[in-house]
Structure 1
Amino acid sequence: MGFREPELPVVDMAEWSKGTRGERIRPMARHWAEVGFGTPVVLHLFYVGKVGLYILGGWLIVLSTKGIDGFTAVGDWWSEPIVFEKVVLYTLLFEVIGLGCGFGPLNNRFVPPFGSILYWLRPKTIRLPPWPNRVPLTKGSSRTPVDVALYAALLVLTSIALLSNGTGPIPALDTTVGILPTWQIAGILGVLAVLGLRDKVIFLAARGEVYAPLTIAFLFTAADPLIAAKVVFLVIWMGAAISKLNKHFPFVVSTMMSNSPVVRRKSLKRKFFENFPDDLRPGRLSRLVAHAATAVELAVPVVLFFAHGGWPTAIAAFVMVCFHLGILTAIPMGVPLEWNVFMIFGVGTLFVAHADLGLGELTRPVPVALLFVVVAGTVIAGNLFPRKISFLPGMRYYAGNWDTTLWCVKPSAAAKIDAGIVAIASMPQAQLERYYGKDRAQIPMYLGYAFRAMNTHGRALFTLVHRAMPASREDEYVVTEGERLCSTAVGWNFGDGHMHNEQLIAAIQQRCHFEPGEVRVVLLDAQPIHRQTQEYRLVDAATGEFERGYVKVADMVTRQPWADDVPVYVHP
């Protein structure tokens, strides 16, 4: 990797451009296996600096609290319950503004490096309600002044809470500072709930599956908030671990480690594959890391939850800190960096500083049990019915098993999108051409294809695009990642196909009026945990769905990243 310039594959553009899509992906996949995306070191340092600013911002906010004093006297106040409360709300605010997950060039956001607040304070941008036909007053796809006011209210209420003082002594929590007023917590939750029903994108961008249940825990009394927070952490870890019990996760490991700025030796990166450069399926090292990581995430949190101090707690906490540091230092695509910092902080403040608090100290166990049932039930339902529930509340983090889409867009349709939707960024292809030039922009675009193809679902997606576009007319289309287009259309993306499925297709069609054949979309559902197949649909934006069927996971995991011949089973 260069310090200021990206390390891109070197190809003979004239010869390379003559190949099929699969043939052009092959050298990109090999480059990815040895180098990753080729991100310049200065860009990684930029993200490290952003994490540092996140920590500094939280530090200063905590110090604004009456009774919390001393910039360097962290040991005197870091375990105060109100500190944990404020870190939760601060991280929620950081994410929902757009500064966290999905920020910047590593998530295909160049200018501007984030959307979120720039979209959601602007009327007539696209919103995507989760249940428009079931929840009253949520129909429609256009953001209204009411939606803007609700989003602004969330920002204001959260900011007020962050600058507030505690309510006073609480003996059960051994604090004289206290916790935040209940009305502030209730107000934030109420506005977030209404916002989520009006636009699921904002709820997901706020990482509502993590910070909403933790905020709900703050409504409890005595020591119950911290115990409930421990329960939520336990579900997050174990839910994510269970979702990794599949054939996809080793592919995530090999792809992520190839892109890691810490793992720099090409010879080591090659060991994550079966037989570089000809067989780029995950090798023994990738499978070992995948199995070990799953075992750690499944078993160690149980020890952390029930140990209540001593060496077992210390060892378990150390292991979980190393676990999150491993993800953090890999700087994965989507850049969920601050979330991993938050989880590390939670390990310390909940499970180490308050190791003595367990289920036996609950004063009102029923609310905590109900919170557990809702959060854990959502995880279970998300794994059984992934088409219905986003991978975020389903906690299928890093599992390699997400809903995905590829959009086949004609230049005429791209022009309609630029003219027809309210956005602050141009189409992804135009952004790449702006930085690399029209010809060289093909290189990073195909590196993006290679990243998708290095994951199992990529084999199916690039097989299905041949079925989506008319035979012998594929050259008329530009194949675009659904999440890249989603970033332009709704202001945020994080690899979640639920935000660029039929609902977004309909919203864009309503504004752009595509002709039949101008936009064709491949939609591939995630794998239900109890089945070994993934459902797909092919949709024309103007005329609707024209094919559906399924592919088998076993057929995807045995193929190379450049393969586009996965057997397809069409439903009659």
Structure 2
Amino acid sequence: MGFKTGDFPPVDLETFLDKPLRERLKALALHWVQSGFGSPKMIPATYVVKLLFLHVLAGTALATWTSGAGPFWDVGNWWDEPIVYQKLVLWTVFLEAFGVAGSWGPIAGKFKPMTGGVLFWARPGTIRLRPWRRVPFTGGDRRTAFDVVLYLAFLASLLAAVLLPGVPSASLSAVLPDNTAGLVAPALLIALYVLNGLRDKTIFLAARGEQYLPSLVFFAVLPFGDLIIAAKLLICAVWIGAGVSKFGLHFTNVVPPMVSNSPCVPAKWLKRAHYRDFPRDIRPSGLATFMAHVGGTTVEIITPLVLLFSTNHWLTLAGVALMVVFHLFITSTFPLAVPLEWNILFGYLAIFLFLGFPAWDGYGVGDMSSPWLTAAIVAALAFFPVLGNLRPDLVSFLPSMRQYAGNWASALWVFAPGAEEKLNSLPHRPTENQVDQLRAMGYPPVVAEITMQQTIAWRSMHSQGRGLFSVLLKNVPDLDRRTVREAEFACNSLIGFNFGDGHLHDEDLIRAVQSRVGFAPGEWLVVWVESQAIHSKVQRYKVIDAALGVIERGTWKVSDAVAAQPWLPDGPIPLDVTWAREPDPAVRTTA
């Protein structure tokens, strides 16, 4: 792999696409083990440049310059300045909401253009996905001029909050009498955050509202001391929630393909060590299990608890250092949703909150102004993670705090020959299908197709992928001649964002596309699976025909999925069909 030259799968371009699907999955999964996506080094280098200049340098320069805490290169002068902390959070939200932070660029399936976000959400007529049908004034799935104005007002209010000076704060002056910078008071911004989210859940999730909106509420309503303690509770809720979500069988399957895709792990032997017996058995090895549940689960649960209650400087320093290294490691792997800005910000937040305002200086959990306030904040922060783990169908995996857990709602899209082209007729869409984006960049058609098929091989390396392919093998007898797409990538080109949340490409999106394009029965099939509930041993799937709706529901045991090889050499895993639509003899499906 060179700076401009990628590591393309070693396959015969003339015959590869004629092979059965499972043979293709095997070849591409084995290639992923040692090379990941095979991106040239210029791709992660581009992300590093974006991260350093757009997020770190521009963000700190704006935050310090507008707060009187500069110059930005004098870190010792501003690292524990409260208003700089607030503005760095707001700048990160702006970049996320604009579409140039997470889910950006080729690693997220955005090739040409590399930005989604604003190109979709500032354009009337694009697809809008409301979160709840019962909320009044949110009906429909078409973005209106009102939605565009609301979104642009949200961006403008974020920029204004970053650029304007702080307002005086009596509670801050009482604690830090020499501080004259004040604090940000984002009351209007909170209203715009919520209104945008009620109109379009995609924008809310892209702006990481499950984590940043509580921060803004704390900024607006809490006195300074309580604000800092509440922020500590919030970041620990994120860490601990993510750690708890890694219990079970899914997460071990996440680590090996993530490490394999890391440009910072150049040694192929180390990548192979995360698999049991490459190339015969590429299920996770003991090393992968250790990395997942010691380096991941244990660190994310134990370390935040230590940080919350420690009154020892050196223990706190060690805990902060561990969490910074944790986030730097995730950043170094360039995961497919590329949440790089989020990870860098969280590393800084750990330093600011627990070293800048340590528990022994009056910022411990027991120092909040009221124990009832502490209880209310803890309950509020725990509500969606608890509900989302018990009823994942009701809550996105992001508010459920299941980042990187491997327990995701997921889907595969299957098109009859030539049917995928219909998506390019979608009105007001600022992009084309990803395979067409690659062709427009000069990729030969067969190379573009194999590049996109690498994403379904990546999905097969995760537990839910084996179940999804099992459902396909059961329901689509002519699967080998159809086009299979990874829905997380594909929906990016329809709505401008995805972070691994299958709720962004469920029946709502399929209905919205179908109403505009009009697929015939059998032309576009979707196999979709919900996240596993924490108390359940199964995942619930459905098969959706874009023209007919849901045609089958069922379950599979997660233990069966993780026991299988990605390419299912022993055939589909066992499925329990709980309901199936009776075939309509008057309907002729395309096959």
Q: TM-score, normalised by structure 1?
A: 0.96
Identity of aligned residues (%): 40
Residue 568 of structure 1 aligns with which residue? Answer: 575
- CA distance in 1 between partners of 2:159 and 2:113 (Å): 24
CA-based RMSD of the aligned residues comes to 1.6
2:320 equivalent among 317, 321, 325: 317
**Over residues 18-64 of structure 1, what are the superposed CA-to-partner deviations in whole Å (9 max), with x where a residue is unaligned?**
42111111111111111111111111111111110110111111122
Residue 327 of structure 1 aligns with which residue? Answer: 330
Secondary structure at 1:436's aligned position in 2?
coil
Structure 2 residue identity aligned to 1:507? A
CA contact (8 A) 1:422 1:489 kept: no
- CA distance in 1 between partners of 2:193 and 2:374 (Å): 20
Residue 50 of structure 1 aligns with which residue? Answer: 50
Tell whether 2:445 aligns with 1:438.
yes
2:383 equivalent among 358, 365, 377: 377
Structure 1 residue identity aligned to 2:29? A
CA contact (8 A) 2:413 2:524 kept: yes
Residue 401 of structure 1 aligns with which residue? Answer: 407
Matches within 5 A, 1:477-496: 477-496=482-501
- CA distance in 2 between partners of 1:308 and 1:62 (Å): 30
Residue 63 of structure 2 aligns with which residue? Answer: 62
2:530 equivalent among 519, 522, 525: 525
Q: Which runs of 5+ in 1 are unaligned?
A: none
**Over residues 146-185 of structure 1, what are the superposed CA-to-partner deviations in whole Å (9 max), with x where a residue is unaligned?**
1111101101111111112122362344152344353xx1
CA contact (8 A) 1:548 1:571 kept: yes
- CA distance in 1 between partners of 2:495 and 2:12 (Å): 37
Residue 428 of structure 1 aligns with which residue? Answer: 434
Residue 303 of structure 1 aligns with which residue? Answer: 306
Residue 362 of structure 1 aligns with which residue? Answer: 368
Residue 203 of structure 2 aligns with which residue? Answer: 202
Structure 1 residue identity aligned to 2:48? V
Residue 136 of structure 1 aligns with which residue? Answer: 136
1:516 equivalent among 521, 537, 549: 521
- CA distance in 1 between partners of 2:470 and 2:541 (Å): 11
Residue 12 of structure 1 aligns with which residue? Answer: 12
2:540 equivalent among 488, 511, 535: 535
CA contact (8 A) 1:459 1:559 kept: yes
- CA distance in 2 between partners of 1:556 and 1:370 (Å): 39
Secondary structure at 1:528's aligned position in 2?
coil
- CA distance in 1 between partners of 2:192 and 2:140 (Å): 19
- CA distance in 2 between partners of 1:375 and 1:314 (Å): 25
Structure 2 residue identity aligned to 1:13? L
Secondary structure at 1:223's aligned position in 2?
helix
- CA distance in 1 between partners of 2:72 and 2:102 (Å): 28
CA contact (8 A) 1:402 1:496 kept: yes
- CA distance in 2 between partners of 1:258 and 1:409 (Å): 29
CA contact (8 A) 1:81 1:173 kept: no
- Deviating more after overlay: 555-564 vs 345-354: 555-564
- CA distance in 1 between partners of 2:84 and 2:14 (Å): 59
Tell whether 2:416 aligns with 1:416.
no
Secondary structure at 2:539's aligned position in 1?
strand
2:506 equivalent among 501, 504, 520: 501
- CA distance in 2 between partners of 1:411 and 1:159 (Å): 46
1:171 equivalent among 170, 173, 193: 173
Secondary structure at 1:571's aligned position in 2?
strand
CA contact (8 A) 1:300 1:316 kept: yes
- CA distance in 2 between partners of 1:442 and 1:306 (Å): 53
Alignment CA distance shift 1:565-1:207 (3 Å):
same
Residue 284 of structure 2 aligns with which residue? Answer: 282
Tell whether 2:29 aligns with 1:23.
no
CA contact (8 A) 2:256 2:284 kept: yes
CA contact (8 A) 1:418 1:427 kept: yes
Residue 463 of structure 2 aligns with which residue? Answer: 456
- CA distance in 2 between partners of 1:262 and 1:173 (Å): 43
- CA distance in 1 between partners of 2:320 and 2:463 (Å): 33
Secondary structure at 2:447's aligned position in 1?
coil
1:249 equivalent among 248, 251, 259: 251
Shift of 1:375: 2.0
CA contact (8 A) 1:161 1:180 kept: no
- CA distance in 2 between partners of 1:204 and 1:266 (Å): 35
CA contact (8 A) 1:124 1:142 kept: yes
Alignment CA distance shift 1:171-1:360 (3 Å):
farther
Structure 2 residue identity aligned to 1:415? E
- CA distance in 1 between partners of 2:418 and 2:268 (Å): 42
**Over residues 383-408 of structure 1, what are the superposed CA-to-partner deviations in whole Å (9 max), with x where a residue is unaligned?**
11112211111111111110001111
Q: Which runs of 5+ in 2 are unaligned?
A: 580-591
Secondary structure at 1:161's aligned position in 2?
helix
Residue 242 of structure 2 aligns with which residue? Answer: 240
Shift of 1:411: 4.9
- CA distance in 1 between partners of 2:256 and 2:217 (Å): 37
Residue 352 of structure 1 aligns with which residue? Answer: 355
1:229 equivalent among 215, 231, 234: 231
